[in-house]
Amino acid sequence: MDFFTQNLKLLQESDPELADRVASQSFPENLNVIQSKDGLPVPKIFGVSLHSQYRPLEEADKAFANFAFDPEYKTVVYGLGFGYHIQALLQKQSGELTVVEPLMSIFRAFMTCVDIRPYIKRVRFRVGESPACLLARLEPKSWNVLKHPPSIKIGESYFKKLDEGIEVRKLLQQRTLRVMIVNPVYGGSLPTAHHCATALKNMGHEVATVDCEAFEQGFFSLKGVTRDLKNSEILSRNFMSFMGEIAAAKAAEFQPDLILALAQAPLTPEAIKKLRELKIPIAFWFVEDFRALPYWNEIVTSYDYIFTLQDGLFHDELRSKEVRNYYFLPQACSPDIHKPSNNIYKGLYEADVSFMGAAYHNRVQSFPRLLDLDFKIWGQGWNLETPLGRKVQNNNKRISTDETVRIYNSAKINLNLHSSSYHYGINPDGDFVNPRTFEISACQGFQLVDNRKHLSRMFKIGEEIIAFDTLDQMRDQVDYYLSRPEERNAIALKSSKRVLGEHTIKHRMEELLIHVFLDRRESLYSIEKIKRDPLDYCVEKAGEGTDLGQYLKQFKGQYPFSLKTVIDHIHKGEGTLDNKEYMFLMLNQILKENA
């Protein structure tokens, strides 16, 4: 019986992103469905029957009768088949299950031949996801794993990689890596570089940065030295060579275990070749649109690992250049910075609708339809003499990160229209999600965003985030949500929960490290320096039996622990401050004044 249409509708409600992916998958030609003795469908692929051909449900129940359930752990099933073993588990426990299936073709056959109504409310299907992605977003320490033997046989290499990834993740948590980050000289990827450094430090790793942004003024000064194109190119090459020498000198001194360069980092193929002499992995996170900045063509074959915001066509291009290791890694937020504020920023930042971003063609053409509203624009490149330009609040000056957080916190609606230099309105090729999407959500701001290829992979559209497909729809949504503050707040809270649970820079750095060191487990064993909890260190130095030691112990489990942890606790407290709290407040003030 063909259940596909019915099942797809049900899945669309609970997991629209997975529904979209399976809808584009045809029924696998190499899979045969036979009928068991009791009339149930049984899949057979590569000569392997994924269930008993006699009484699959009854025999699955017997096979897993001794599986030990633990309410404190999440039950994770390796392998889907046609789900008879999962039905048996659902009858034995009341909680939810997570099913990991590497092959979308198996899931497509399952959706066609099996009624998913018994599964849909209590099973989360994770299909075709990379081991590194799964392990970064889920907590494998709390997994209680049941392995479906026929599925393991079919997907042996994947499940082996998943188990190895669990080991790598554990090793990464036990060891301190030395990571060198090469920053860009300027541009939108520079804040991401700073966020990466913060996240890696918070994860307990030692980080050194090549602060190329310190040379920004010199870089732009070179542009005005000569009008001769040939001489200008020579100067630019010499500058890049100089920056490569700086990176090499820093690496020789720091002796990193990993080098991570961000998009627009000034590293030439020659500089990367010199860094490779250290015999450590060198990764590149290209947090830009590959169509807009095509310089990636010159350098991608030099790196060991390429991480990208886009897949599809970009990955096709990388394959054509024989790039061996490329990986989809989207943008994210930094919760240390992007967070809700208790302060209400009246006046300057407060607005019904706000937009923060540069004056790209599609935005200039689209935003005049909002001129009748309390609409404020923040960003650079706007024509201040036009009616739209008069909505710009910052006189085209650069916006600080602190200001962006205030903007996101203060607007009733944050408009997020991804940039395009040549489209009117919405870019139909929009195949990456910008950092603003995650940052607004982390601030618990409400946003309207143009629909993007991967958006439903990251949020439940309509429930956790509101997306528009046309400019008319954008305007209708603005009018609708302006008059419904409770709906805005409910969606913003759900969006924030999703982002903090899956889409922080820490999640991305964990995923990147797991992916890189899955191929390099032996190098992790050679790193002897064991991480030490900074709180344990502080308690030891204070003395466990002292008043200070006892005071510090209350912060056990709050990660990462820092002076800020203590200061935030003091500010939330009530009553008279004691001597220890006065001491911490004074220390914090001294550090601020000397920063």
Instruction: Just give the CATH number of 175-328.
Output: 3.40.50.2000
Exposure of 513 by Cβ count < 10 A (0-12 exposed, 13-18 middle, 19+ buried)?
A: buried
The whole-number pLDDT of residue 452 equals 94
Can you tell me the distance from the alpha carbon of 335 to that of 142, in angstroms, rounded to the nearest whole number? Answer: 24
- Domain boundaries 4-172, CATH class: alpha beta
pLDDT-derived band at 346 (thresholds 50, 70, 90) equals: low
Q: Which residues contact 160 (CB under 8 A, 6 or more apart)?
A: none
Enter the pTM of the model. Answer: 0.85
Which segments of the chain belong to CATH 3.40.50.2000? 175-328, 351-503
Residue type, 286: F
Can you tell me the distance from the alpha carbon of 418 to that of 403, in angstroms, rounded to the nearest whole number? Answer: 20
Which position has the higher pLDDT, 62 or 474? Answer: 474
Q: Above pLDDT 70, what percent of the chain?
A: 95
The whole-number pLDDT of residue 301 equals 96
The whole-number pLDDT of residue 591 equals 64
Q: Is the per-residue pLDDT at 149 higher than 90?
A: yes
Q: Is 268 within 8 Å of 241 (Cβ atoms)?
A: yes
- DSSP strand E in 63-136: where? 74-78, 97-101, 123-127
Can you tell me the distance from the alpha carbon of 312 to that of 408, in angstroms, rounded to the nearest whole number? Answer: 31
The whole-number pLDDT of residue 422 equals 82
Q: Is the per-residue pLDDT at 474 higher than 60?
A: yes
Residue type, 112: T
pLDDT-derived band at 172 (thresholds 50, 70, 90) equals: very high
Overall average pLDDT of the 395-407 stretch: 93
Q: Is the per-residue pLDDT at 531 higher than 60?
A: no
Q: Is the per-residue pLDDT at 499 higher than 90?
A: yes
Topology classification of domain 351-503: Rossmann fold (3.40.50)
Q: Is the per-residue pLDDT at 560 higher than 80?
A: no
pLDDT-derived band at 590 (thresholds 50, 70, 90) equals: low
Can you tell me the distance from the alpha carbon of 66 to that of 43, in angstroms, rounded to the nearest whole number? Answer: 25
Three-class secondary structure of residue 138 per DSSP: coil
Q: Is the per-residue pLDDT at 229 higher than 80?
A: no
pLDDT-derived band at 528 (thresholds 50, 70, 90) equals: low
Can you tell me the distance from the alpha carbon of 156 to that of 158, in angstroms, rounded to the nearest whole number? Answer: 6
Exposure of 429 by Cβ count < 10 A (0-12 exposed, 13-18 middle, 19+ buried)?
A: middle
Among 119-128, 147-156, 227-236, 490-499, whose mean pLDDT is lowest?
227-236
- Over residues 423-466, the pLDDT tens digits come to 888 988 899 999 999 999 999 999 999 999 899 989 999 999 99
The tokens for 76 are: 């994770």
Overall average pLDDT of the 559-580 stretch: 77
The tokens for 291 are: 């169509």
Can you tell me the distance from the alpha carbon of 5 to that of 1, in angstroms, rounded to the nearest whole number? Answer: 11
Q: Above pLDDT 90, what percent of the chain?
A: 70
pLDDT-derived band at 571 (thresholds 50, 70, 90) equals: confident
- Over residues 270-323, the pLDDT tens digits come to 999 999 999 999 999 999 999 999 999 999 999 999 999 999 999 999 999 999
